[in-house]
């Protein structure tokens, strides 16, 4: 990150970028990709590749690869400024739209390939023709995995629908449920149920 700033907003932005980068790395995406996204999101500004390179102290290649991936994910958009030939980038600012895009991308990259492999494994083990206990137990384990990941895929598709209301509605329901549980705990209701 560029030099420490006397500006508290810039310092806060830099700390956010670092934290977001660490989180991204823990989630299995490039730290730099997460930091580029964080910078664009937290500043709310349209920045060109040179601006991003200078602020994050990264190479042009690293900035370009990260921006391309973020555009592919649908959480960063290309834009232009009148009178300027440079290409600028701006992050999606609606947190729910951003969350839906990230969840969709993770589903596509993680759950869908796993499901395809599980289906192939299931089909392969079913071809043996023998009905031994070991094969039945094996097939049951595979079927259980297929069932849970198909359910996850269905839930994600439902909550990340094009209308965009599913994920937010689910989060609000969970928040409401947690709030009700917390209120019961404060009134003593939850404590009585546990004893």
| 98 CB-near residues (< 8 Å, 6+ apart) | 41, 75, 91, 92
The reported pLDDT for the residue numbered 164 is 59
Asked if residues 36 and 67 have their Cβ atoms less than 8 Å apart, the reply is yes
Rounded CA-CA distance 120/137 in Å is 17
The reported pLDDT for the residue numbered 85 is 92
The reported pLDDT for the residue numbered 173 is 75
From first to last of its 195 residues, the chain has per-residue pLDDT tens of 655 668 899 999 999 999 999 999 888 889 999 999 999 999 999 999 999 999 999 999 999 999 999 999 999 999 999 999 999 999 999 988 898 888 888 888 889 999 999 999 888 877 766 678 888 888 899 999 999 999 888 888 877 776 656 666 777 777 776 766 666 665 554 444 443
The domain ranges of the chain are 8-91, 95-189
In Å, how far are 9, 16, 33, 74, 161 from 48, measured between CA atoms?
20, 20, 15, 17, 31
Cα distance between the two ends of the chain: 52
pTM of the shown model? 0.72
In Å, how far are 19, 127, 160 from 76, measured between CA atoms?
19, 46, 18
Architecture of domain 8-91: Orthogonal Bundle (1.10)
């Amino acid at each position: 990150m560029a030099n420490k700033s006397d500006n508290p907003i810039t310092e806060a932005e830099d700390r956010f970028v670092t934290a977001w980068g660490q989180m991204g790395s823990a989630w299995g995406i490039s730290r730099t990709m997460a930091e580029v996204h964080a910078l664009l999101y937290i500043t709310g500004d349209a920045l060109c590749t040179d601006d991003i390179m200078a602020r994050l102290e990264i190479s042009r290649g690293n900035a370009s690869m990260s921006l391309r991936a973020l555009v592919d994910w649908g959480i960063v958009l290309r834009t232009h400024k009148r009178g300027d030939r440079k290409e600028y980038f701006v992050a999606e600012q609606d947190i729910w739209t951003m969350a839906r895009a990230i969840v969709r991308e993770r589903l596509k990259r993680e759950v869908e390939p796993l499901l395809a492999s599980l289906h192939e494994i299931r089909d392969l083990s079913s071809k043996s023709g023998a009905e031994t206990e070991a094969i039945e137990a094996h097939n049951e384990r595979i079927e259980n995995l297929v069932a849970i990941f198909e359910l996850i895929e269905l839930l994600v598709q439902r909550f990340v629908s094009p209308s965009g209301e599913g994920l937010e509605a689910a989060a609000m329901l969970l928040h409401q449920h947690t709030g009700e549980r917390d209120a019961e705990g404060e009134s003593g209701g939850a404590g009585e149920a546990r004893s």
